[in-house]
């Protein structure tokens, strides 16, 4: 039985130290920039860190856009708000608080997964040590909960941490944040965004669409008119209109193989312990 316990510990360690999830995203500027430049992001998550790889397609218009636009620190000042400085400080504070909360979601999920792995090992240890079917049932229940965390909670927390939600600070749902050229929502007028979640075969798909008028593309004297009324096509200021469409797919990594093997072993032990118990009872009745 000692060897069986060692196998459980080995498989649990393999689950913890393997790659958990891989997210691949593409985000395109479908209106406002020439040739629809696209940001491609590959996002890998394990027990301790996130690795991000970024590439650009049709990059020249996007690089020119980032270089030519002016960063707007506080668009409210364009309307001569007397409390503009206080508003800027409040906005910065809220931004930091949101970033901290978002970042903690993935860390909190990691902590929960670690607790579930330890709990699974404890239940499996008691089951193997005492040949107890009920303990193995408990380990299978923890195993199922662990699978739900890996398949659903982990990618949702990761996408939220990435910034791909309607309440995020990035106007692109985090795609430009990953490239260190974030254009925040606060620098847009008449900004609108929407997100969605769809379940696909062995993957989750997250969608993010946004549109608005980038005040950083306008001269300072032209911004207030756009803030007051959204210009129609062919009207002054409409050249600052930007539309972005992003999509990210999250699929499980090697962690699911370790998880499946753990569950199969726990189920086998539960079936074996039940058979041994019944055989032992029959032998006792026969006086053997």
Instruction: Give the tens place of pLDDT for each residue, 155-169.
Output: 888 888 777 665 557
pLDDT digits (tens, 9 = 90+) for 74-95: 654 444 444 444 444 434 444 4
pLDDT digits (tens, 9 = 90+) for 156-202: 888 887 776 655 577 887 787 655 567 888 899 999 998 888 888 77
What average pLDDT does the segment 214-220 reach?
92
What average pLDDT does the segment 272-277 reach?
59
* Cα–Cα distance, 251 to 208 (Å, whole number): 18
Question: What does the mean pLDDT of the chain come to?
Answer: 81
The owner of tokens 């600052």 is: 240
Structure confidence at residue 287 (pLDDT): 38
Task: Locate 1 and state its tokens.
Answer: 């039985």
Task: Locate 206 and state its tokens.
Answer: 């997250």
Check if the beta carbon of residue 18 is closer than 8 Å to that of residue 46.
yes
Residue 215 predicted with pLDDT over 90? yes
CB atoms within 10 A of CB 204: 21
What average pLDDT does the segment 107-120 reach?
94
Task: Locate 253 and state its tokens.
Answer: 């990594």
Of 105 and 264, the one with more pLDDT: 264
What average pLDDT does the segment 97-101 reach?
45
Check if the beta carbon of residue 265 is closer than 8 Å to that of residue 14.
no
Q: Where are the domains of the chain?
A: 2-286
């Amino acid at each position: 039985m000692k060897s069986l316990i060692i196998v459980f510990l080995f498989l649990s360690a393999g689950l913890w130290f393997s790659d958990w999830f891989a997210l691949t995203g593409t985000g395109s500027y479908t209106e406002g920039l020439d040739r629809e430049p696209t940001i491609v992001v590959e996002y890998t998550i394990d027990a301790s860190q996130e690795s991000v790889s970024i590439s650009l397609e049709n990059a020249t218009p996007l690089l020119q856009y980032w270089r030519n636009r002016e960063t707007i620190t506080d668009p409210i000042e364009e309307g001569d708000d007397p409390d503009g400085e206080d508003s800027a400080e409040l906005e910065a504070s809220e931004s930091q608080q949101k970033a901290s909360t978002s970042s903690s979601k993935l860390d909190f999920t990691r902590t929960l997964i670690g607790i579930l792995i330890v709990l699974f090992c404890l239940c499996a240890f008691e089951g193997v040590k005492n040949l107890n079917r009920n303990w193995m049932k408990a380990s299978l229940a923890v195993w199922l909960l662990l699978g739900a965390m890996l398949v659903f909670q982990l990618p949702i927390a990761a996408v939220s941490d990435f910034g791909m939600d309607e309440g995020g600070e990035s106007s692109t749902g985090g795609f430009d944040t990953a490239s260190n050229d974030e254009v925040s929502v606060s620098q847009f007028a008449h900004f609108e965004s929407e997100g969605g979640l769809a379940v696909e075969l062995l993957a989750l798909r997250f969608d993010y669409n946004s549109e608005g008028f980038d005040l950083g593309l306008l001269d300072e004297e032209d911004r207030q008119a756009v803030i007051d009324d959204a210009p129609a096509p062919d009207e002054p200021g409409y050249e600052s209109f930007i539309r972005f469409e992003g999509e990210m797919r999250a699929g499980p990594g090697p962690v699911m193989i370790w998880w499946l093997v753990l569950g199969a072993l726990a189920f086998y032990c539960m079936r074996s312990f039940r058979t041994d118990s019944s055989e032992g009872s029959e032998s006792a009745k026969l006086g053997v």
